[in-house]
Structure 1
Amino acid sequence: MNIKKIVYSSLVTGLLLIGGLLPFAAPASVVIAGTRVIYNAQDSEITIKLSNNGEKPALTQVWLDKGDPKADPSRIDLPFTITPPMSRIDPAKAQTLRIAYTGEPLPQDKESVFWLNMLEIPPKPMADEAGANHMQLAFRSRIKFFFRPAGLKGSVNDAPGKLTWHVADKGGKQVLQVTNPTLYHVTVIAAAVGAAKFDDGDMVAPGGTLDIPLKGHAAAAAGTKVQFTTLNDYGGPVQGEGVLQ
């Protein structure tokens, strides 16, 4: 639920062969190991594995962005290098990416978040398929990339338990306000106050407050229990319980 797969529209036009009935090419075959990346500042570099689970070679391009999925990769300036930025991965093979922090200033008093993008470009049709009509799509996977400075106070594992919760009225609709007093990002994938629920997933930044819409009506009395689920560093769900303030 933290991986966003997007049809990369700027390439689709060039990859479409227009015809009568267009059979779709196979879905994305290259996968990223993990659903999020944690870069600890004390590490000289980190490695990430890309695996081609498909039956054909694939060309991949990898880059980081600041949160805008439409940003032009050639214009993004971030203090990280990725090697290799482009690679061909044969079927049943893998490619190891190396990401290194180049040292330009980033906040040292809280965690920073970026997005790691992997664009998979399918191969051209085989010679025996040249006469057929095909629709080929380039797929992009996008996962969170956290830069964690050294010496941050508190523990990332304790951060979900420090969230505070309120029920508020916004425009005639109830929202569950979650405030994060910690120095770490916390991804909330589900929350419930009685019969009122939230299951769309969202992330609250360090020191930030997030309004999440509720389905159903929640009792707003202080002390009412809030059941919630967050994600840990490995992308696994962690159950938690809080109370309305």
Structure 2
Amino acid sequence: MMMKKTVLFLAGLLLNDAYGQLNFERSRIIFDAGQKNSQSLVVSNISADTPYLAQTWIENDRGEKVITPLAALPILQRINPKQEKQIKISFIGSGAELAPDRESLFFINILGLPPKGKESQSTVSIVIQSKIKVFYRPKGLPAYMLEIGGLFTLQC
């Protein structure tokens, strides 16, 4: 039993040598059409020496890729080590397919693609797809009420 624990511990140490990955400045985006026509999401590569490709697209609440009314640009970009880049989410189209009296839920997907391993090494590349909620608020919806320390403040 002790031998098995030792082998698992050593395997964990060897597998711990992992590449960095992409980080995001926030975990959700509220797209208020009454205030802005676009939102930006900052993506950071925290790796010290490995560049990543970031592929982005928008899905609706059923998991279907959409082209309108929201678009994420650029679709594909290289993010060098210790570098930050922006992904811009823009409102395109008329929005006629969206409910005018409530929020609509979308997801921005960011696929972090690591570089290909060297031919002489035995490596495993792990591709991570991150999904971030995007709440689209049409014009005319009332602002949220937010309570902070017993005081009410308005927040859109």
Bin of the TM-score, shorter chain as denominator length: 0.7 to 0.9
- Whichever residue aligns with residue 32 of structure 1, its letter is F
1:149-228 → structure 2 map (5 Å cutoff): 149-153=138-142, 155=144, 157=146
Note closer, same or farther for the CA distance 1:28–1:149 as it changes in structure 2 (3 Å cut).
farther
Equivalent residue number for residue 182 of structure 1: none
Q: CA deviation at 1:98?
A: 1.2
Distance 2:68 2:43 in 1: 22
Gaps of 5+ in 2: 1-13, 148-154
The secondary structure found in structure 2 opposite 1:157 is strand
Equivalent residue number for residue 98 of structure 1: 88
The answer to whether structure 1 residue 50 and structure 2 residue 43 are counterparts is yes
Q: CA RMSD in A?
A: 2.4
Q: Whose RCO is larger (CA < 8 A, sep 6+)?
A: 2
The secondary structure found in structure 1 opposite 2:136 is strand
Distance 1:132 1:77 in 2: 40
Distance 1:134 1:24 in 2: 13
Using the size of structure 1 for normalisation, the TM-score is 0.48
Distance 1:114 1:48 in 2: 15
Q: How many residues align?
A: 131
Q: CA deviation at 1:67?
A: 2.7
Distance 1:114 1:86 in 2: 19
- Whichever residue aligns with residue 44 of structure 1, its letter is N
* 8 Å Cα contact 1:24-1:135 kept in structure 2: no
Q: CA deviation at 1:122?
A: 0.6
* 8 Å Cα contact 1:28-1:139 kept in structure 2: no
Out of 12, 15, 24, which is 1:32 matched to? 24
- Among the aligned pairs, what percent are the same residue? 27
The answer to whether structure 1 residue 135 and structure 2 residue 120 are counterparts is no
Distance 2:115 2:130 in 1: 18
Q: CA deviation at 1:26?
A: 2.3
- Whichever residue aligns with residue 53 of structure 1, its letter is I
- List per-residue Cα deviations over 1:214-235 (Å, max 9, x = no partner): xxxxxxxxxxxxxxxxxxx9xx
- List per-residue Cα deviations over 1:69-119 (Å, max 9, x = no partner): 5x4x4xx34311222111000000011111111133211101111111110
Gaps of 5+ in 1: 1-21, 159-232, 234-245
Greater displacement, 86-95 / 98-107:
98-107
Equivalent residue number for residue 151 of structure 2: none
Equivalent residue number for residue 84 of structure 1: 74
Distance 1:100 1:81 in 2: 5
Q: Flag as ranges the 4+ runs of structure 1 deviating above 3 A.
A: 22-25
- List per-residue Cα deviations over 1:111-157 (Å, max 9, x = no partner): 1111111100110124xxx3121111110111110001122136253
* 8 Å Cα contact 1:23-1:133 kept in structure 2: no
* 8 Å Cα contact 1:48-1:98 kept in structure 2: yes
